[in-house]
Amino acid sequence: MTVLVQEADFDPGVEMAALSAGRTDVGGVACFVGLVRDIAGGATVTAMTLEHYPGMTERQLEEIEAEARSRWPLQEVRILHRHGRLLPGDRIMFCGVASAHRGAAFEACAFLMDWLKTKAPFWKREETPEGERWVEAKAEDDDAAARWR
């Protein structure tokens, strides 16, 4: 399975190795691992909770993956996104692609991250010393995703 939404932590090395396991046609693997930061918008973040709609979320991630596969020659794609309550330093997501050539791997990974950031249906709530707050969409994320339209 190339798209996973789960509460459990993951091992980035295992996920990365799965992209090229048993393959000799892969010339490059590009990966991104997202982590929960302890500061956002100038405020200390003590935890983040991610909510999603099971089924709908996986379908949307699969559509994003399919779009990447239609744009670049990719041998493998793995998208893993966590949900639930996470602490600063916790891994929140993994995105990895394997291709015959590094350019396609780099570009596809960047595309996936930009589109996941803006199109994946997750709702994030941060806990701060001042209380809880929902994370709003950021214009710079929309600008980054716009380059792929």
CA atoms within 13 A on the CB side of 72: 25
CB 79 within 8 A of CB 94: yes
The amino acid occupying position 141 is: D
For residues 73-89, average pLDDT? 98
**Angle formed by the axes of helices 102-119 and 56-71, nearest 10°:** 150
Task: Tell me the CATH architecture of domain 3-146.
Answer: Alpha-Beta Complex (3.90)
What pLDDT, on the 0 to 100 scale, is given for residue 138? Answer: 87
Residue 141 has pLDDT above 90, yes or no: no
Residue 1 has pLDDT above 70, yes or no: no
CB 90 within 8 A of CB 78: no
For residues 120-139, average pLDDT? 93
pTM of the model: 0.94
Residue 52 has pLDDT above 90, yes or no: yes
For residues 141-147, average pLDDT? 88
98 vs 73: CA distance, rounded Å? 9
